[in-house]
Amino acid sequence: MAPDRSLLLFLGAAVVFAAAPLETARDQQDRAALQKMIGDYSAAAAKAPDNSEAQFRMALACSYLAQVANEQHDRKAARQAAEQGIKPGERAVALKPSPEYYRVLGTLYGQGITDVLSGLSYGPKAKAALTKAVEGAPKDPAVWVAHGVGNYYLPAQLGGGAPAAIADFRKAIELDPKNAEAYLWLGVALRKDNKDAEARQALAKALALDPNRVWAKQQLEKTPSK
C-alpha cells in the first residue's frame, strides 16, 4: 500500500528541516529533544519501510543521540541508541546505497562498540561502511570527519590511532574550512597525540564556528593551556 499524502508531506518537510533541529539538540546535549524526534521519525519510518529518506532520518537521529550519550560518558545509552538506528540505517543503504547513508551507518556501527565482543561484531562493519562512504564521496568533508572518528577509536595496530584521525580531520578542513565538527575532532585527536597547544587552537576555532556546541566548550576547558 502506498503511503498517504500526509505522510509524503511529512517526509518532504523532514528532508528540508530535519538536520537543523537535530544539530541544535546535539549541540545543546538535549537528549530529551532527541528522544522526541526519534519517536517521530520511528513512526514515519514504520509507515514507509520502502522510503530510504524516512529510514535515513531515523538512523541519523539515533546517531546524534548516541553521540550525545557518549559525550556524557553514558556508554550503555549510547550503544542502545546506536543499535536502535542500525536497522533503519541498513534499510536505507539497501534501498539507496549513497555515501551519506553509508557514512551514518558506519558511524552507528562504531557507536555500538562498547566492549571486545561488540567490537568484533561491529568493527569490521563500521570500517567497511566508512570506506564505501569515502570511495563514493571523496570530496565530502562530513565523510572524512566520520572516517576520522573511526580512526580515532581504532587501535593503531589495526591501522587507526590519533595520527591517522588527524590526517582525516585535516582533509575535511581542507575541503571545508568552516567545518566546526572537523575542528572539534581535530582538537580532540591532537590532545590525544599530546599536542595540547595545537589542540586548543583547533577547539577554539570549533567553538568560534559553532558557539552553541556544549561539547566543544567542555573539550576546550579540559585541554591544558601549556
* In a domain? residue 164: no
* In a domain? residue 210: no
* In a domain? residue 219: no
Cα 216 to chain centroid distance, Å, stands at 15
Distance between CA atoms of residues 121 and 133, nearest Å? 20
Which contacts qualify for 34-43: CB closer than 8 Å, 24 or more apart? Answer: 34/61, 34/64, 34/65, 34/68, 35/65, 37/61, 38/62, 38/65, 38/81, 38/84, 41/14
> What is the model's pTM?
0.88
* In a domain? residue 137: no
**CATH of residue 36:** 1.25.40.10
* In a domain? residue 104: yes
The tally of domains found in the chain comes to 1
In the prediction, which pLDDT does 19 show? Answer: 61
Crossing angle of the two packed helices 141-153 and 162-175, in degrees rounded to 10 = 170
Closest of 68, 48, 145 to residue 104, by C-alpha: 145
Instruction: Express each pLDDT in 148-185 by its tens digit.
Output: 999 988 877 777 899 999 999 999 999 999 999 999 99
Instruction: Express each pLDDT in 68-121 by its tens digit.
Output: 999 999 999 999 999 999 999 999 999 999 999 999 999 999 999 888 888 888
* In a domain? residue 193: no
Closest of 169, 158, 159 to residue 195, by C-alpha: 169
* In a domain? residue 209: no
Using alpha carbons only, what angle is made at residue 145 by residues 140 and 151, rounded to the nearest 5 degrees?
A: 130
The range of the structural domain enclosing residue 54 comes to 1-126
Is the pLDDT higher at 15 or at 43?
43
Instruction: Express each pLDDT in 117-135 by its tens digit.
Output: 888 888 899 999 999 999 9
Question: Is the model's pLDDT at 14 over the cut of 80?
Answer: no
Distance between CA atoms of residues 86 and 159, nearest Å? 24
* In a domain? residue 152: no
